[in-house]
Structure 1
Amino acid sequence: MQLDHATIVTAEPDTVRRFFVGVVGLADGARPPFSIDGHWLYANGRPVIHLIEATAPAQAGRSTPRIDHIAFRLEGAAEWQALLDRLHAAGVDYRLAQVPRMRAQPAELQLFVALAPGVVIEFVTALRHGDHAQLENLE
Protein backbone atom coordinates (compact mmCIF):
# COMPACT_ATOMS: atom_id res chain seq x y z
CA MET A 1 0.00 0.00 0.00
CA GLN A 2 1.18 3.53 -0.72
CA LEU A 3 -0.16 7.01 -0.20
CA ASP A 4 -2.06 7.90 -3.38
CA HIS A 5 -3.30 11.49 -3.03
CA ALA A 6 -4.73 14.22 -0.81
CA THR A 7 -7.96 16.02 -1.69
CA ILE A 8 -8.40 19.69 -0.89
CA VAL A 9 -11.85 21.32 -0.97
CA THR A 10 -11.78 25.10 -1.41
CA ALA A 11 -13.93 27.97 -2.58
CA GLU A 12 -10.87 29.20 -4.52
CA PRO A 13 -9.56 26.20 -6.49
CA ASP A 14 -7.82 28.38 -9.10
CA THR A 15 -5.81 30.24 -6.44
CA VAL A 16 -4.77 26.94 -4.82
CA ARG A 17 -3.99 25.45 -8.26
CA ARG A 18 -1.77 28.43 -9.16
CA PHE A 19 0.17 27.97 -5.89
CA PHE A 20 0.75 24.25 -6.41
CA VAL A 21 1.66 24.70 -10.09
CA GLY A 22 3.60 27.97 -9.96
CA VAL A 23 5.31 27.67 -6.58
CA VAL A 24 5.40 23.96 -5.69
CA GLY A 25 6.07 22.83 -9.26
CA LEU A 26 3.21 20.39 -9.78
CA ALA A 27 1.59 20.09 -13.23
CA ASP A 28 -2.11 20.62 -13.94
CA GLY A 29 -3.26 17.48 -15.74
CA ALA A 30 -6.10 15.28 -16.92
CA ARG A 31 -9.00 14.51 -14.58
CA PRO A 32 -11.91 12.07 -14.94
CA PRO A 33 -15.29 13.64 -15.75
CA PHE A 34 -16.64 13.87 -12.20
CA SER A 35 -19.92 15.73 -11.65
CA ILE A 36 -18.16 18.47 -9.66
CA ASP A 37 -15.45 20.82 -10.96
CA GLY A 38 -11.86 20.54 -9.88
CA HIS A 39 -8.25 19.92 -10.89
CA TRP A 40 -5.79 17.08 -10.58
CA LEU A 41 -2.22 18.19 -9.99
CA TYR A 42 0.59 15.82 -10.95
CA ALA A 43 4.05 15.09 -9.59
CA ASN A 44 6.28 12.72 -11.57
CA GLY A 45 3.35 11.68 -13.77
CA ARG A 46 0.98 10.86 -10.86
CA PRO A 47 -2.01 12.93 -9.67
CA VAL A 48 -1.08 13.63 -6.03
CA ILE A 49 -3.32 16.62 -5.20
CA HIS A 50 -7.02 16.60 -6.08
CA LEU A 51 -8.63 20.04 -5.87
CA ILE A 52 -12.41 20.25 -5.57
CA GLU A 53 -14.45 23.41 -5.68
CA ALA A 54 -16.49 23.89 -2.51
CA THR A 55 -20.12 24.06 -3.57
CA ALA A 56 -21.71 24.51 -0.14
CA PRO A 57 -20.96 26.89 2.69
CA ALA A 58 -18.92 25.55 5.59
CA GLN A 59 -20.89 23.34 7.98
CA ALA A 60 -20.47 22.92 11.72
CA GLY A 61 -17.37 20.85 12.27
CA ARG A 62 -16.21 21.18 8.64
CA SER A 63 -14.47 24.30 7.47
CA THR A 64 -13.69 25.40 3.95
CA PRO A 65 -11.00 25.23 2.70
CA ARG A 66 -10.00 21.91 4.14
CA ILE A 67 -8.08 18.77 3.37
CA ASP A 68 -11.02 16.52 2.66
CA HIS A 69 -9.38 13.10 2.72
CA ILE A 70 -6.25 11.09 2.10
CA ALA A 71 -6.15 8.07 -0.17
CA PHE A 72 -4.09 4.91 -0.21
CA ARG A 73 -3.50 2.88 -3.39
CA LEU A 74 -3.65 -0.90 -3.25
CA GLU A 75 -2.08 -2.64 -6.23
CA GLY A 76 -3.12 -6.26 -6.14
CA ALA A 77 -6.33 -8.25 -5.78
CA ALA A 78 -4.94 -10.05 -2.72
CA GLU A 79 -4.14 -6.76 -0.98
CA TRP A 80 -7.64 -5.42 -1.80
CA GLN A 81 -9.33 -8.58 -0.55
CA ALA A 82 -7.28 -8.54 2.65
CA LEU A 83 -8.45 -4.97 3.29
CA LEU A 84 -12.08 -6.01 2.73
CA ASP A 85 -11.63 -8.96 5.10
CA ARG A 86 -10.17 -6.71 7.82
CA LEU A 87 -12.98 -4.16 7.39
CA HIS A 88 -15.63 -6.88 7.67
CA ALA A 89 -13.92 -8.50 10.68
CA ALA A 90 -13.76 -5.14 12.47
CA GLY A 91 -17.36 -4.27 11.57
CA VAL A 92 -16.27 -1.11 9.76
CA ASP A 93 -18.81 0.35 7.33
CA TYR A 94 -17.61 1.61 3.97
CA ARG A 95 -18.93 2.91 0.67
CA LEU A 96 -17.76 1.83 -2.78
CA ALA A 97 -17.68 4.01 -5.88
CA GLN A 98 -16.22 3.80 -9.36
CA VAL A 99 -13.90 6.46 -10.79
CA PRO A 100 -15.20 7.48 -14.23
CA ARG A 101 -13.00 6.24 -17.10
CA MET A 102 -10.56 8.73 -18.56
CA ARG A 103 -8.96 8.11 -21.96
CA ALA A 104 -6.83 4.97 -21.87
CA GLN A 105 -6.74 4.85 -18.06
CA PRO A 106 -8.26 1.68 -16.60
CA ALA A 107 -11.37 2.09 -14.48
CA GLU A 108 -10.74 2.27 -10.75
CA LEU A 109 -12.65 1.24 -7.65
CA GLN A 110 -12.79 3.49 -4.59
CA LEU A 111 -13.63 2.49 -1.03
CA PHE A 112 -14.41 5.25 1.49
CA VAL A 113 -14.35 4.87 5.28
CA ALA A 114 -15.68 7.65 7.51
CA LEU A 115 -13.63 7.22 10.68
CA ALA A 116 -15.20 10.15 12.53
CA PRO A 117 -17.08 13.31 11.57
CA GLY A 118 -14.88 15.04 9.00
CA VAL A 119 -12.27 12.24 8.84
CA VAL A 120 -12.46 10.22 5.62
CA ILE A 121 -9.96 7.69 4.32
CA GLU A 122 -10.11 6.46 0.72
CA PHE A 123 -8.60 3.28 -0.69
CA VAL A 124 -8.32 2.97 -4.46
CA THR A 125 -7.37 0.15 -6.81
CA ALA A 126 -7.67 -0.78 -10.48
CA LEU A 127 -11.17 -2.07 -11.22
CA ARG A 128 -11.08 -5.69 -12.23
CA HIS A 129 -13.90 -7.56 -13.96
CA GLY A 130 -15.19 -9.18 -10.76
CA ASP A 131 -15.43 -5.82 -9.00
CA HIS A 132 -18.31 -4.70 -11.27
CA ALA A 133 -20.58 -7.25 -9.59
CA GLN A 134 -19.49 -6.02 -6.16
CA LEU A 135 -20.51 -2.46 -7.08
CA GLU A 136 -23.88 -3.59 -8.43
CA ASN A 137 -24.64 -5.58 -5.28
CA LEU A 138 -24.07 -2.58 -3.04
CA GLU A 139 -26.01 0.03 -4.98
Structure 2
Amino acid sequence: MQFDHATIVTADLDNARRFFVDVAGLTQGSRPPFSVDGYWLYADGRAVIHLVNATDPAPSPAPAVRAAPRIHHIAFRLQSAAEWQALLTRLRATGVDYQTAQVPPIGPQQAAMQIFVALAPRVVVEFVTALQHAQP
Protein backbone atom coordinates (compact mmCIF):
# COMPACT_ATOMS: atom_id res chain seq x y z
CA MET A 1 0.00 0.00 0.00
CA GLN A 2 1.15 3.55 -0.67
CA PHE A 3 -0.19 7.02 -0.02
CA ASP A 4 -2.29 8.28 -2.92
CA HIS A 5 -3.53 11.79 -2.11
CA ALA A 6 -5.06 14.11 0.48
CA THR A 7 -8.10 16.26 -0.19
CA ILE A 8 -8.33 19.64 1.49
CA VAL A 9 -11.68 21.41 1.46
CA THR A 10 -11.15 25.17 1.73
CA ALA A 11 -13.05 28.39 1.15
CA ASP A 12 -9.81 30.00 -0.07
CA LEU A 13 -8.78 27.88 -3.04
CA ASP A 14 -6.39 30.38 -4.58
CA ASN A 15 -4.45 31.02 -1.38
CA ALA A 16 -4.12 27.27 -0.74
CA ARG A 17 -3.01 26.70 -4.35
CA ARG A 18 -0.40 29.47 -4.09
CA PHE A 19 0.97 27.98 -0.87
CA PHE A 20 1.31 24.47 -2.28
CA VAL A 21 2.82 25.70 -5.57
CA ASP A 22 4.96 28.66 -4.47
CA VAL A 23 6.09 27.36 -1.07
CA ALA A 24 5.73 23.58 -1.02
CA GLY A 25 6.96 23.26 -4.60
CA LEU A 26 4.09 21.22 -6.04
CA THR A 27 2.91 21.73 -9.61
CA GLN A 28 -0.64 22.54 -10.66
CA GLY A 29 -1.82 19.99 -13.20
CA SER A 30 -4.81 18.59 -14.98
CA ARG A 31 -7.99 17.77 -13.11
CA PRO A 32 -11.17 16.02 -14.26
CA PRO A 33 -14.15 18.32 -14.93
CA PHE A 34 -15.90 17.83 -11.59
CA SER A 35 -19.01 19.82 -10.66
CA VAL A 36 -17.12 21.62 -7.89
CA ASP A 37 -14.19 24.02 -8.28
CA GLY A 38 -10.76 22.89 -7.26
CA TYR A 39 -7.18 22.09 -8.20
CA TRP A 40 -5.02 19.01 -8.39
CA LEU A 41 -1.42 19.54 -7.35
CA TYR A 42 1.32 17.18 -8.42
CA ALA A 43 4.62 15.82 -7.06
CA ASP A 44 6.71 13.37 -9.07
CA GLY A 45 3.99 13.09 -11.71
CA ARG A 46 1.21 12.19 -9.26
CA ALA A 47 -1.70 14.30 -8.02
CA VAL A 48 -0.99 14.20 -4.28
CA ILE A 49 -3.10 17.16 -3.11
CA HIS A 50 -6.69 17.72 -4.21
CA LEU A 51 -8.06 21.14 -3.27
CA VAL A 52 -11.85 21.45 -3.26
CA ASN A 53 -13.92 24.61 -2.86
CA ALA A 54 -15.73 24.51 0.51
CA THR A 55 -18.41 26.94 -0.64
CA ASP A 56 -19.70 24.59 -3.32
CA PRO A 57 -22.54 22.27 -2.31
CA ALA A 58 -21.53 18.72 -1.46
CA PRO A 59 -21.96 16.49 -4.49
CA SER A 60 -24.21 13.43 -4.50
CA PRO A 61 -24.22 10.63 -3.55
CA ALA A 62 -22.23 11.14 -0.35
CA PRO A 63 -23.27 14.39 1.38
CA ALA A 64 -23.11 12.75 4.82
CA VAL A 65 -19.48 11.81 4.23
CA ARG A 66 -18.56 15.45 3.54
CA ALA A 67 -20.30 16.83 6.63
CA ALA A 68 -17.68 16.13 9.29
CA PRO A 69 -14.36 14.85 7.90
CA ARG A 70 -11.26 16.62 9.03
CA ILE A 71 -7.55 16.25 8.38
CA HIS A 72 -5.34 17.53 11.18
CA HIS A 73 -2.26 17.69 9.01
CA ILE A 74 -0.46 16.26 6.03
CA ALA A 75 3.28 15.82 5.87
CA PHE A 76 5.88 15.95 3.13
CA ARG A 77 9.33 14.40 3.61
CA LEU A 78 12.29 16.25 2.13
CA GLN A 79 15.21 13.99 1.28
CA SER A 80 18.15 16.39 1.16
CA ALA A 81 19.67 19.47 2.74
CA ALA A 82 19.24 21.32 -0.57
CA GLU A 83 15.47 20.62 -0.59
CA TRP A 84 15.22 21.76 3.05
CA GLN A 85 17.11 24.99 2.45
CA ALA A 86 15.06 25.72 -0.68
CA LEU A 87 11.86 25.29 1.33
CA LEU A 88 13.11 27.66 4.05
CA THR A 89 14.04 30.21 1.38
CA ARG A 90 10.54 30.04 -0.15
CA LEU A 91 8.86 30.30 3.27
CA ARG A 92 10.87 33.39 4.13
CA ALA A 93 10.43 34.97 0.68
CA THR A 94 6.66 34.60 0.82
CA GLY A 95 6.38 35.66 4.46
CA VAL A 96 4.60 32.47 5.51
CA ASP A 97 4.63 31.96 9.29
CA TYR A 98 5.89 28.60 10.51
CA GLN A 99 7.02 26.77 13.61
CA THR A 100 9.80 24.24 13.94
CA ALA A 101 10.21 21.22 16.17
CA GLN A 102 12.90 18.62 16.62
CA VAL A 103 12.02 14.94 16.90
CA PRO A 104 14.53 12.95 18.97
CA PRO A 105 15.71 9.60 17.64
CA ILE A 106 13.80 6.52 18.73
CA GLY A 107 15.18 3.05 18.11
CA PRO A 108 16.50 2.85 14.55
CA GLN A 109 14.67 6.03 13.51
CA GLN A 110 16.97 9.04 13.14
CA ALA A 111 16.36 12.42 14.73
CA ALA A 112 14.28 14.68 12.49
CA MET A 113 13.40 18.34 12.07
CA GLN A 114 9.85 19.47 11.35
CA ILE A 115 8.28 22.66 10.03
CA PHE A 116 4.59 23.28 10.64
CA VAL A 117 2.50 25.77 8.66
CA ALA A 118 -1.11 26.56 9.57
CA LEU A 119 -2.56 26.76 6.07
CA ALA A 120 -6.10 27.46 7.26
CA PRO A 121 -8.08 26.91 10.42
CA ARG A 122 -7.78 23.21 11.24
CA VAL A 123 -5.43 22.44 8.32
CA VAL A 124 -1.72 22.10 9.08
CA VAL A 125 1.03 21.22 6.62
CA GLU A 126 4.17 19.57 7.97
CA PHE A 127 7.53 19.28 6.27
CA VAL A 128 10.02 16.84 7.78
CA THR A 129 13.61 15.90 7.09
CA ALA A 130 16.48 14.08 8.79
CA LEU A 131 18.05 16.35 11.40
CA GLN A 132 21.38 16.31 9.56
CA HIS A 133 19.70 17.91 6.50
CA ALA A 134 18.37 20.80 8.60
CA GLN A 135 21.74 21.81 10.02
CA PRO A 136 23.14 25.04 8.57
Structure 1 length as normaliser, TM-score?
A: 0.46
Structure 2 length as normaliser, TM-score?
A: 0.47
Q: Which has the higher contact order (CA 8 A, sep 6+)?
A: 1
